[in-house]
Amino acid sequence: MSSADETTSLFEEHRPRLLRLAYRMLGTAAEAEDVVQDAWLRWRQVKTGTVREPGAFLTRVVTRLCLDVMKSARVRRESYVGSWLPEPIVEAEEEGLRLDELTLTLMLALERLSPLERAAFLLHDVFEVPAQEVGAALNRDASAVRQLAVRARRHVRASRPRYPVDRAEGDRIAQAFFQASASGDLVALRSLLANTVVLHSDGGGKVLASLNPIFGVERVLRLFEGLSRKYAGAMARMIRLVRIDGLPGYVSLARDGFLQTTALAIEDGRIIAIYITRNPDKLGRIASMVATEGQTARLQ
């Protein structure tokens, strides 16, 4: 094998893991791919055989690149219109972006952490990187890494699901929720929602979406009642039941014809949180999937 082939082979071996790390750090698949591509360009400049542990080296490179991106990303988030949700990754998409147990709910909890806390938690707790290696990636000693990870755990502990929902039950509830919300059946909706349910809707200021989270079953029911009146006669269309960042959900065409994803956090058989992504900038990958299945969706 030539030196160039060996360089490529080593990088491709680690690419799926690097993509997962970058996506979990940044919340955007496109930015994750840009970071990993940048890491590849840097890796090409390294002489084959001079790096003892390629995986650890590439993890350090990707982590530092992500921290740089996060500085500007935080500025963008501060001016973001409405609720911000991570770009939805569904099962039909690239395997490398979804093979871990960090759900959308936990990713939102990570958004409340500092970049260093987020990196320490992901590397140490999720990707099981030893503290010494995490410290090398963050330019911190091992004890500082452990402190960062401890602080991060406190923030995300409450967001961990107490009881994972099995696939069949998640699909059943997602299907029932789609049918009830699409038909405006408020009685059926009420039976599916927890009293403390919260709805997040991300339109990015580009399509109609709630600007702020909606708390409580009565307010969520009023929202769906209003949508039913506004779009009377129009039909939503289910495209596919999927897992969205680890949560039960579906891809659909809403009554206004726009593509959207809906993810559901479920506890004790009731929906405790609804995450609806409508921002077309975050749905390009899913739009391509929809197009291959012969569906027609509005994206702007």
The CATH number of the domain covering residues in 167-292: 3.10.450.50
123-134 residue pLDDT tens: 988 888 888 899
Numbered ranges of CATH 3.10.450.50 in the chain: 167-292
Confidence of residue 180 (pLDDT cuts 50, 70, 90): very high
In three-state secondary structure terms, 248 is strand
β-pair partners for 247: 244
Ranges for all domains in the chain classified under CATH 1.20.140.160: 3-159
**Least trusted range by pLDDT, from 74-83, 120-129, 269-278:** 74-83
Rounded CA gap, 239 and 287, in Å? 11
- Rounded distance between C-alpha atoms, residue 269 and residue 57, angstroms: 44
Q: What is the pLDDT of residues 43-70, one digit of tens each?
A: 988 876 778 888 999 999 999 999 999 8
**CATH architecture type of domain 3-159:** Up-down Bundle (1.20)
Long-range contacts of 158-162 (CB under 8 A, 24+ apart): 158/109, 159/105, 159/106, 159/108, 159/109, 160/106, 161/103, 161/105, 161/265, 161/267, 162/267
